[in-house]
Structure 1
Amino acid sequence: MFRAITRHGHKLKSLRTLPRSVSRPAYRAFCSTEEIERDEMEYDVVIVGAGPAGLSAAIKLRQLSEDRDEELSICVLEKGAQVGAHILSGNCFNPHALNELIPDWRNDETCPLETKVSEDRFSILFENKSINVPEMFLPKSIRNHGNYVCGLGEIVEWLGEKAEEEGIDILPGFAGSEIFYNEDGSVGGVITNDFGVAKDGTQKDTFMPGMIVKAKQTILAEGCRGSLSQQLIEKFNLDGNVVNKQQYGIGIKEVWEVDNSEFKPGLVKHTVNWPLGPNVYSGTFMYHVKPNKIHVGMVVGLDYKDPYLNPYEEFQRFKTHKNISKYFKNGECVAYGARALNEGGYHSLPKLTFKGGMLTGCSAGFLNVAEIKGTHHAMKSGMVAAETIWSKLEKDEDISGKELTEYETSMQDSWAVHDLKKWRNFKLGFKKNLWFGLIHGFLLNFTQGREPWTLKIGNKKDHEYTEPKSKFKPRKYPKKDNKLTFDLLTNLERSGTDHDHDQPSHLKIKEGMEDWAQKSYDIYGAPEDRFCPAKVYEHIKDEETGEMKLQINAQNCVHCKTCDIKPPNNYIRWTTPEGAGGPKYPGI
């Protein structure tokens, strides 16, 4: 990491720290004055997030500028302990964007794309049976001929290696916690998290203030519900003119190593209906990856109404279906994780540019729900961002703090957005129920985006769909057998999640909403205790008062961001913890 920091002469100078007795609020106030020095690093471009979008942007920029006399300086900040540590996806990979970025990738023996899709299966599950849907009746969007199944983390690690080979500075373990603004209000870079602040706000021996990473342009590639992206979307009202506010789902996933005759390399299987039924938007995936791994998971739309619904428990129940459990015979679960994902599609895309930077990948919402894919769109958005920046730099134009609106225009003309337009009405077809959504999706095969209607929900957000607990009955879930099904904390160990326990909680109750932890319990039955896939939130009885109080186990957090989306009245805000904390997904 030190090599990366010093490559362009950005060696960090020694830091002047405050007395250890200074509390975090006082420290923050002190930092806002000119009396304390934060280290500064200056780049042409800073990219927040070493995922598919961010790394594609970095690589493309280097490719475009390779003939430039003075090397373009590019920095990629990554909050995970290493590149790929926080990456989680299905993943059925469409190589369209990769073909453009690295045309000869098939000849690279180090590329982890090895398992080509061999068969598509789509089933409607019922409690005791299933119906296989013939391919001719499936939407074209979920036919996977020419795609690959893989662990996306492995692809991202490989892209990270390619970026480093190109001389790009990658700083793992550095979380972007704040936006750095220029004097004119434009974005001028980011400020990284402080290290070594204790839970009580005092400084530890390891204390080091965050640094200011300045740049002419800042590319946000944080993934779904990125914390800096959300700050800028709110500050600049980037989603003020969208047809529908962004919608989200939670994806929960396991990786199994198996040894049975049901394993078929390249098999892609999707199911709908059971166990959640036709009135909750949900579905499952199962991808068979060489040599012996099954990637299996469930996605549940976060617009569900029942506060007693538990997505993790429903996923465990799914595996017990007689037509599903057979795949895991003689198998062992080796990895677990969870992540929120965008589901709004084309009608929920915010304005992509602001003064000093742009949104890419799932920070903007480029996932195509109809395709159940977004990686290739994320990569394309990063590449287009790079092309936009280079189109100015090669003419020696000043881009510092400027809004490069050409990026938005180029994305609208790209195949990525054209794909989203084709299926712009797909997700909302399921608002009525599963059966209407399936029929509507089949019709979209023929309209291919030319349908004259637009399905709308307007400004309604996912947390607003949750209804009071009085309308529902608590759900009872079966006991786990620790062979096929697992309790949540057992599975959490498989995520590699780790945070320094002695640091301030990165999960905040919003100012002025302190009473909503109690209201959530009293009115809604505390849905955050159930939608969290890591047992971060628990309402427990206060020994002194006898009342229920919210306990936040921040050290369990897998950074899925669901708690930033679904709590009643949206009273919780997810912020970045100390860099390098969180999950360490093994190519999941």
Structure 2
Amino acid sequence: MHTLLSKSNSFRNPTFTSLRSSNSFHTRLWNSTPSTSISSNTNISHGSPQDLSNSTSSSGCSGIRHFSHNSSFSVFQNGFKRIFSSGHCLNSVILRNFDGERSGTLKNQIFGTQSRSVCTEPDRESIEYDVVIVGAGPAGLSAAIRLKQLCREKDVDLSVCVVEKGAEVGAHIISGNVFEPRALDELLPQWKQEESPISVPVSSDKFWFLTKNRALSFPCPFDNKGNYVISLSQLVRWMGAKAEELGVEIYPGFAASEILYDANDFVVGIGTNDMGIAKDGSKKENFQRGVELKGRITLLSEGCRGSLSEKIIKKYKLREKEQSQHQTYALGIKEVWEIDEGKHKPGFVLHTMGWPLDRKTYGGSFMYHMNDRQVSIGLVVALNYHNPFLNPYEEFQKLKHHPAIKPMLEGGTVLQYGARTLNEGGFQSIPYPVFPGGAIIGCSAGFLNVPKIKGTHTAMKSGMLAAEAAFNVLHEGLNMETYWDNLKNSWIWKELYEARNYRPAFEYGLVPGLAISAIEHYILKGKFPFTLKHGKPDHEATNVAELHQQIHYPKPDGVLSFDVPTSLHRSNTNHEHDQPAHLRLRDPKIPELVNLPEYAGPESRYCPARVYEYNPDENGQVKLQINAQNCLHCKACDIKDPKQNIEWTVPEGGGGPGYSVM
């Protein structure tokens, strides 16, 4: 593991292999007759359809089907549709008849990942569950686990499905992460007695204010006693295995692209996107229709700026219902390093503010020492910054050259790179999280505690509360609004209320923000007599270029700092190139007519993956080029574009980064 991670040699931990898809591929089936299957000795490479002309199928159907290591698939047998989940730890096989009625469950039947029976249909398949959860992150998996726990406690059988757009559980999960186990203690009280990825307790905690050449030590405002330094992507893999042990069906590699409604505008599930569509919109040979996953309850746990969650919030006016303010965001950029043994201090936690950011830009850096000589280092930049020339990626590269940071990294090797936006709106920005047919949980709703720099524990707790409400809806006939009531009576609400003024205090600048937050934290203990409001939405905070001077960043040295292509390779990012761009311009003229002349093309700088580039065309006219295959799914473009002209949508399932230790 002490080697640079690449797509072909990514991190492997035997504890978490059951939820992993090491490769996804398209397979073409020709004129199949009774039972089309792919056996363990079939050699199929990524992106290269292979003919299986000698295969047979009992249903006499032919067509094209997409698979991944953890795909769901179906076969018709004796009038029933048998729904499978590939992967070593499948716990059940659901039998449903053609109208979707649940007919029976065969428990604890194991199917290998290399042998599959399939059948295709011309129309989109529809599979019914009691609860459908979108996103296999900490909130979604906590909800799934809690639902199944309640089923066992009450001797009730409810079907629970989790759909995940990443190629494997954890592939799109990235966080600091200093983990507060409060919610996990409630969810899985025996976790300390089990083998888990939570093994490095915080040993020391420091807080520095950085100037260009100095690090000034201040009393640490964080209380991390009892917390752990972890990889969140590894934690959710472990949680995914726990969920499957309880009977949850998890389908990685399937991107939820639409909400399903009934005639009364009641949410009845989600639809996954079609596969095998070319850039021009035509159907390729490996075209496959998406699947409808219908649920009596749908829980959205897509993470920060979830695309379906945002649509639900707007459709049902959930912010207006609670008179909540707009959400405000930050972009976190992170690397995992392997450093020299003599410099490694397991459990050491460092946070900084100040340099390299200017006094008007909120943000800070972190360094966490994990196990195996691994260190997480990152920079978080609030996306309400004013200067369109600011480049968060380049600011992060500068950070690593600070005299107090550089010695800790020298001689080390970068293992992985990634980026993701995070919610910073806190208490003021929480929308009403319940909609007809479901609820929004985790970072999709925005439960991050900004002064703590923690949101995993609150996300997990929200998932647990939503699960309890959903169970009571399905089993007791109660209303889903009990989720909202229980949320307001939980420790999440108390925690976020006490921290509500920390982030908006920095609207007045770095020094006033530090002063106000210190008074609230140390003197008033979260009991400020009033609630501060957030400033402008992040995209409106961007000034025109003429008000600022261009920022000249140093060239990377290839030792501590790196160019974007080098870093991007370390993210294991992979997309099917021949597919419609999932980054859509509402008005294709705005980049050249507005963003470039007025804002100097800020999308070429706020994106940490060089997705957006301005290049001259054959006529010498500068045009915006979108390199969608580079996308890290961070959502910064959807948030920061000055005219809100960029819409982030899900690409083909399984595409995106392949995080393993983030």
Pair in the same fold by TM > 0.5: yes
Shift of residue 352 of structure 1?
A: 0.5
Q: Does 1:113 align with 2:193?
A: no
Shift of residue 7 of structure 1?
A: 1.9
Amino acid aligned to 2:563: D
Cα deviation 1:79-104 (Å, max 9, x = unaligned) = 00000000000001000000000001
Which structure has more relative contact order (CA 8 Å, sep 6+)? It is 1
Give the 3-state SS of the residue equivalent to 1:388 in structure 2: helix
Query: Is the Cα contact below 8 Å between 1:384 and 1:411 reproduced in 2?
Result: yes
- Unpaired runs of 5+ residues, structure 1, are 18-36
Q: Does 1:125 align with 2:199?
A: no
* 1:455 paired residue number: 532
State the alpha-carbon separation in 2 of the partners of residues 11 and 143 from structure 1.
54
Shift of residue 394 of structure 1?
A: 2.9
Amino acid aligned to 1:82: E
- Unpaired runs of 5+ residues, structure 2, are 1-69, 73-83, 87-91, 99-117
Cα deviation 1:48-85 (Å, max 9, x = unaligned) = 00000000000000000115555210000000000000
Amino acid aligned to 1:416: I
Give the 3-state SS of the residue equivalent to 2:427 in structure 1: helix
Corresponding residue to 1:91 among 169, 177, 198: 177
Assess, with a 3 A threshold, how the Cα gap between structure 1 residues 243 and 186 changes in structure 2: closer, same or farther: closer
State the alpha-carbon separation in 2 of the partners of residues 368 and 100 from structure 1.
19
State the alpha-carbon separation in 2 of the partners of residues 185 and 517 from structure 1.
39
* 1:58 paired residue number: 144
State the alpha-carbon separation in 1 of the partners of residues 429 and 533 from structure 2.
10
More displaced stretch, 568-577 vs 445-454: 445-454
Amino acid aligned to 2:157: E
Cα deviation 1:299-357 (Å, max 9, x = unaligned) = 00000000000000000000000100011122000100000000000000001101001
Shift of residue 391 of structure 1?
A: 2.1
* 1:27 paired residue number: none
Shift of residue 516 of structure 1?
A: 4.2
Query: Is the Cα contact below 8 Å between 1:345 and 1:369 reproduced in 2?
Result: yes
* 1:323 paired residue number: 404
Shift of residue 518 of structure 1?
A: 3.1
Shift of residue 574 of structure 1?
A: 0.1
Amino acid aligned to 1:473: Q
Shift of residue 548 of structure 1?
A: 1.2
Q: How many residues align?
A: 555
Query: Is the Cα contact below 8 Å between 1:53 and 1:382 reproduced in 2?
Result: yes
Q: Does 1:9 align with 2:95?
A: yes
Assess, with a 3 A threshold, how the Cα gap between structure 1 residues 516 and 478 changes in structure 2: closer, same or farther: closer
1:186-335 equivalences under 5 Å are 186-240=266-320, 241-335=322-416
Corresponding residue to 1:541 among 598, 602, 616: 616
Structure 1: which 4+ aligned runs deviate by more than 3 Å? 10-17, 67-70
Q: Does 1:160 align with 2:240?
A: yes
Give the 3-state SS of the residue equivalent to 2:417 in structure 1: strand
* 2:157 paired residue number: 71
Provide TM-score, normalisation by structure 2. 0.82
* 1:552 paired residue number: 626
1:377-388 equivalences under 5 Å are 377-388=458-469
Query: Is the Cα contact below 8 Å between 1:243 and 1:456 reproduced in 2?
Result: no
Query: Is the Cα contact below 8 Å between 1:15 and 1:39 reproduced in 2?
Result: no
Q: Identity rate of aligned residues, in percent?
A: 48
1:523-538 equivalences under 5 Å are 523-538=598-613
Query: Is the Cα contact below 8 Å between 1:518 and 1:548 reproduced in 2?
Result: no
Shift of residue 448 of structure 1?
A: 2.8
Corresponding residue to 2:450 among 333, 347, 369: 369
Amino acid aligned to 1:551: Q
State the alpha-carbon separation in 2 of the partners of residues 177 and 134 from structure 1.
46
Query: Is the Cα contact below 8 Å between 1:260 and 1:327 reproduced in 2?
Result: no
Query: Is the Cα contact below 8 Å between 2:352 and 2:366 reproduced in 1?
Result: yes
Query: Is the Cα contact below 8 Å between 2:341 and 2:373 reproduced in 1?
Result: no
Query: Is the Cα contact below 8 Å between 2:592 and 2:622 reproduced in 1?
Result: no
Shift of residue 451 of structure 1?
A: 1.1
* 2:223 paired residue number: 143
Q: Does 1:576 align with 2:650?
A: yes
Shift of residue 121 of structure 1?
A: 0.3
Shift of residue 561 of structure 1?
A: 0.4
State the alpha-carbon separation in 2 of the partners of residues 518 and 587 from structure 1.
41
Shift of residue 10 of structure 1?
A: 5.3
Corresponding residue to 1:439 among 508, 511, 515: 515
Corresponding residue to 1:494 among 549, 558, 570: 570
State the alpha-carbon separation in 1 of the partners of residues 367 and 156 from structure 2.
48
State the alpha-carbon separation in 1 of the partners of residues 453 and 97 from structure 2.
43
State the alpha-carbon separation in 2 of the partners of residues 9 and 144 from structure 1.
48
Cα deviation 1:213-272 (Å, max 9, x = unaligned) = 100010000000001001101111111244421000000000000115332110100011
* 2:52 paired residue number: none
State the alpha-carbon separation in 1 of the partners of residues 588 and 167 from structure 2.
33
State the alpha-carbon separation in 1 of the partners of residues 637 and 206 from structure 2.
33
Give the 3-state SS of the residue equivalent to 1:372 in structure 2: coil
* 2:500 paired residue number: 424
Amino acid aligned to 2:612: Y
* 1:565 paired residue number: 639
Assess, with a 3 A threshold, how the Cα gap between structure 1 residues 10 and 302 changes in structure 2: closer, same or farther: farther
Query: Is the Cα contact below 8 Å between 1:260 and 1:329 reproduced in 2?
Result: no
Shift of residue 277 of structure 1?
A: 2.3
Query: Is the Cα contact below 8 Å between 1:339 and 1:561 reproduced in 2?
Result: yes
CA RMSD of superposed structures (Å)? 1.5
State the alpha-carbon separation in 2 of the partners of residues 338 and 155 from structure 1.
18
State the alpha-carbon separation in 2 of the partners of residues 537 and 84 from structure 1.
26
Amino acid aligned to 1:410: N
Query: Is the Cα contact below 8 Å between 1:260 and 1:330 reproduced in 2?
Result: no
